[in-house]
Structure 1
Amino acid sequence: MPIGEFGNAPPLAGQGSPALTTPMYWMYEMAHASLNPARAVTDATKILFQNPLNPWSHTEFGKSVAAACELFERTTRRYGKPEWGIHDTEVNGIRTAVEIRTVWEKPFCRLLYFDRKLTRPLRHPQPRVLIVAPMSGHYATLLRGTVEAFLPTHEVYITDWADARMVPLAAGRFDLDDYVDYIIEMLHELGGNMHVIAVCQPSVPVVAAVSIMEARRDPFVPISMTLMGGPIDTRRNPTAVNKVAEERGIEWFRRNVITKVPFPNPGVMRDVYPGFLQLNGFISMNLDRHMDAHKQLFAHLVKGDGDLVDKHRDFYDEYLAVMDLTAEYYLQTVETVFVRHALPKGEMTHRGIPVDPTRIMRVALMTVEGENDDISGLGQTEATHGLCKSIPAHRRVHYVQKGVGHYGVFNGSRFKSEIVPRISDFMMSSANPKSLLALAAE
C-alpha cells in the first residue's frame, strides 16, 4: 500500500469553530469512553465466533461476524505507542543482539542508542549516526525500517519524542527554539564524531542547529548532515499541504486546532495540537484508499488469509498510533516553515539570534528527495544547497530517488538498496581525519 502522509506535520485538520476549540479534546475523550461497553460486547462476540467448538465459527456467516467485530474494534481503538521490535541485526555476517538504551533524556525527548552486542571487535570503526525523527504526530517507531537499514554498518542513535499529553504542565513549554536546543545538547552529549540524518520535518531545525553551532565555532558540530524529504523551502513545487497553510494563515490554526489536554492525562490543561485531529488530516487526504484497505481486511479475515491480515495490522498499528504536539511548537513550526518561509528568506531566528546557514563550513551536506513526493515537493530539500553556500562543492551531494513517494525516501526496498548505500558512502567520504577540536581551534 503506497503511503504519502508520513513525515512532515501536515497543517491539515478537520473544520472547527472557535467556540468549540476548548472542549474539543474533552468531547473526544467522552465519545471514546462511551464506546467501551460496545467494544466489550464486540470482543466477546468475536471470541464466541472464533471458538472452534462453536459450529458457526466454521461457516462464512460466523467468519463474517468475527471479521466485522475485529473491524469495529480496530476502528474504535486508541492505539498506543508501538514497540521497536528490534532485537538483533547482522554485523559482518554475524547475527548480533541489540539492546535499546536511553543515553540522554529531557521532558519532551529521549535519546535512544541501539547498542549492538558485538562478539568480535570491528576492524575499522563504523560511522556514528544521530537520526532525528520527525515530531509530526507519529512516534519515532515510524522509522523502524530506517534504523534497521543502518544498524548493520553504523552505530545508531535516534530521537524519541514524547507525547505532549503525557508531559505535566510543571515540565514547562516546548517550542521550535527548544527543539533546536535539544539537538545541540544531544550532539554535545554524544561528544563529536557524529553524522546527523534529519528525516522530513526536522530538516529545518537541524539546519538551524548546525548553523548556530558553526557560528559559535562549536567543536561538537557534526561531520555531515543528511536531509531527507525536508520542507526547507516550501515555495518550490508547493504541495496541497503547503498551500493550505499559506492560504489559511497562522491565526486560523490557533483558533481552530489548538485545545487543552483533558483529565486524567498527565499533561492535563496543556495546550496541544491533538493527535486525533492530526490523524483526521492524514486520513482525509486519502480517504478512499483507507476505506478500500479496510474492505480488503474484512475479505481477508473471512478467507483466513493470515499473511495479508498481519500486513494490514502491522501497517495500521503504526499508522493509527499518534501523539499530541505542544501548541507553541506546532504553531511556531507552521508559521516559520509553511507561512513565512523564514529559513530560505534569511529571516529565521533562534532566541532572537539570526540563523545563518552561510556560516556552515565544516559540515558536509547531502540532500535526498523522492521523485513522487506529494508532501515535500521536488526541490524543497535541494534548496538547502543554495543556503549553505560556504560548504565546498565537493562536500555537497544531492540525490533524487526515482519511483518513490514521501515514505519511500526513508523506508522500503529502494531505500535499503539504493539510498542507504549512497548515504553511507557520503558519510565515509566526508569524514575528516583531523579532530573537530583541532579544527575549532584553527
Structure 2
Amino acid sequence: MHELLKLYNRIVQRVNINLRELNFDITPFAQELIQPDNMNKFYAFYGITPDHPLDLDFQHSALAGSYFLGKCRITNSVLYKSDIRGDELKRKGHVFKYDRFDIPLTRDEAIIIDDSALVKTLVHNFSHDPETPETFFIKDTLAMDYSNIHGAPSDGCFLGPFATVDLTTMRDCAIGAYSYIQAGEIYHLDIDPGTVWVNSPHNFNFLYTYPVKQLSQYVSLSPEHIPWGTLFDFIDNHKEAFQRVFDVVNLEAIESIPATASLDRYAVVLPTTKIEDNVLIAQRAYLENSFLGKGSNAQENCFIINSHLSGFNVTAHGAKLICTHLGSGVFTGFNSFIYGKEDAPVSVGKGSIIMPHTIIDIDEPLEIPDNYLVWGLIRNSRELMENSVSLNELEKIETSFSRGRMHFEGKGLSL
C-alpha cells in the first residue's frame, strides 16, 4: 500500500509540474480519487482475438478492474476500472495518410501509458497525429471518472469528470468537467467546465459553453468535495447490475441475440431488450427494456433504457438514452444525457445529430424534427429552439451565426 501511495503521489506531482504555467493544482481533486483499499479487489483483463497481437507489458503499475486490448505498455501508472481499447492500432507496413504525406509504419503501433492515473476512463487509440504514428502516448496525465481520451495523445494534462478529448493531441492542458474538445492540437490551455469546442482549421469553429449554475446540477467538481451531480447518481443507481458479469466466469448465452450481432462479455442486457442484426454492444454498456434496430450500436459506458432505436443509430462512448425514440440514422455524441420520462418521452427524427455532451432533461414530451443538429442544455421546447438548427439551414451558412450560447464560424457544409 505504501508503494501504491508513493507512486500515485509521484504522478500527481508530475502532472502539477506540467501545469505550473497555468497555475493549476490538481492535488485537491486527486486526494479522494483513488481509494487504495479498492485497488486489490478487482482483477484486470486482457482481450484476446485472432485479429490483434497478444502483447501486454506493465511495470510498477496498478491495473485494478481495467480492460486492455491490443499492444499496450504501462509503466509507473495507476489505472482503476479503465478501458484501454487498441482495436484500431495500426500495424507494421501500414501506410498512414495525412494531408499530403504517406507515412509508412516500421513497427506495430502501441498504446504507451507512462506516469499517469486514469480512473474509469475510456482510452481509444484512433489516433490522427502524424508526428507519432507508431506511438499513442499518455504521459504525466490524470483523468477523472468517465472521461474519454479518444484518439487524443496526452502529455502533462488533467481531465475532469466526464471530460472528452477527441482526435486532438494535448500537451500541458487542464480540461474542465463535462467539456468536449476536438481541435487537432491544443497546448497550455485551461478549458472551463462545460465547454463544447469543435474546431477544424480553415473549415469551421463551433463553440458552446454551459451555464455554470445549471451544469453543476448534473456534474460538479470542487476542491472541497468528491465529484457529484445527477450523472453520478444515475450511474451509481445502476452499478449493481454489472456485478454479476464480472463475478461469474461463464455467463449463459442470450438465445435471442442474432448471429450477426456482437455482444461483449462485459455488457449488461436485461430482459425485454431486443437486438437485431449487425448490432454492436461494447463492454460496460447497459441495456434495459429497449429495442436496437439493425446496424445500431451502444459503445462503452452507454446506457439505453426504455428506448427504441430504429436502426443504424450510433450511441457514442458514454451516451445515455432514457425513454427516447430515435429515428433511423441518428447519431448521439459522447457523454450525452437524453433523459426522457415515461410520461414525457424524447423523440428524435431520422438523420439528426445530437452533439457530444448534450443534456436533454424534460418533464414534458419533446420532439426533435428530422435532420436537425442539437446541442447544449435542453429542458423544454423553448430551449430546444435556442439549441438546435436544421441541417438544411446550417448548410447555407457561409460566414458565421450565433444562437443562444452557441457561436459558429465558417461554412456550415464543413461541419
TM-score after normalising by structure 1:
0.28
Greater relative contact order (Cα 8 A, min sep 6): structure 1 or 2?
1
Structure with greater strand share of residues: 2
Structure with greater helix share of residues: 1
